[in-house]
Amino acid sequence: VRVRVLFFGQLKDIVGVAVEDADLSEGARVEDLFERYGRRFPKLGEFRASIAASVNQEYAGWRAALVLP
Amino acid sequence: VSGGQGGGQQAAVADDVYQLVRQPINAREIAESVKAPEDGAVVVFDGFVRNSFKGKRTLYLEYEAYEPMAYAKMREIGAQIRASFPIHRLAIWHRLGRLEIGETSVLIAVSSAHRREAFEACRYAIDTLKRAVPIWKKEYFVGGAVWAEGETPSQEAISGPGEST
């Protein structure tokens, strides 16, 4: 599945872009996306506990699916 | 939802105002805009740029938002206020972009027949806005800048401290 990823605040500075698309396997969760970016940008790991994530404009935890059924 | 002119505390939901703006916020004009003859109180929260942050002298700030979600969350706050407090009118404004010291970043104005519900609704609005509306603040100093720690829900708050893989 393809999702559009938006970055804000500190994360935008670290990643260097405000928006990009990412291709993930079926059933991917917020944590899968974070891990993928964590490999590209190891500094993101420092923010693991304090990051806020949302899926389709609702706050979402690590286990939340990226594509709503 | 209008029940006529007699009540004075009818929910004027259609009149509720939520605005993200890049121009200066006119606090006085907004406070006037929520007043009606049947009201007896307006409570205004005016949050503006402080000249220091953690002991350092601030030069200016920049705010950014995830705008569609921020509008959705502001409307949710308005709905929660409508469900909890018998107020008359509500206006929530937040400025984005670069702000100088002393300029208003957030303005909330609530009118009601009596003071108590206006105070309570205004307090609820600013406290909830800080937690729920996706807006970020960057503080600029001589020689650097930092993103302020937000109050938006962290993964720890949502998923629990134990839950990570």
Yes or no, beta carbons of B152 and A52 under 8 Å apart: yes
Say what the ipTM of the complex is: 0.92
Name the residue among B18, B102, B23, B24 with its Cα closest to residue B59: B102
d(CA B116, CA B85): 9
Q: What would the pLDDT profile of B68-90 be if each residue is shown by its tens digit?
A: 999 999 999 999 999 999 999 99
Nearest to B159 among A6, A10, A62 (CB): A62
Name the residue among B26, B135, B37 with its Cα closest to residue B77: B135
Nearest to A59 among B64, B153, B156 (CB): B153
Asked if pLDDT for residue B3 goes beyond 80, the answer is no
pLDDT recorded at residue B155: 75
The model carries a pTM of: 0.88
Min Cα distance B33 → chain A (Å) is: 30
Overall size of chain B counted in residues: 165
Q: What would the pLDDT profile of B94-121 be if each residue is shown by its tens digit?
A: 999 999 999 999 999 999 999 999 999 9
Q: Chain A interface, mutation test: which of B63, B139, B159, most A Cβ atoms within 10 Å?
A: B159
Nearest to B163 among A10, A50, A62 (CB): A62
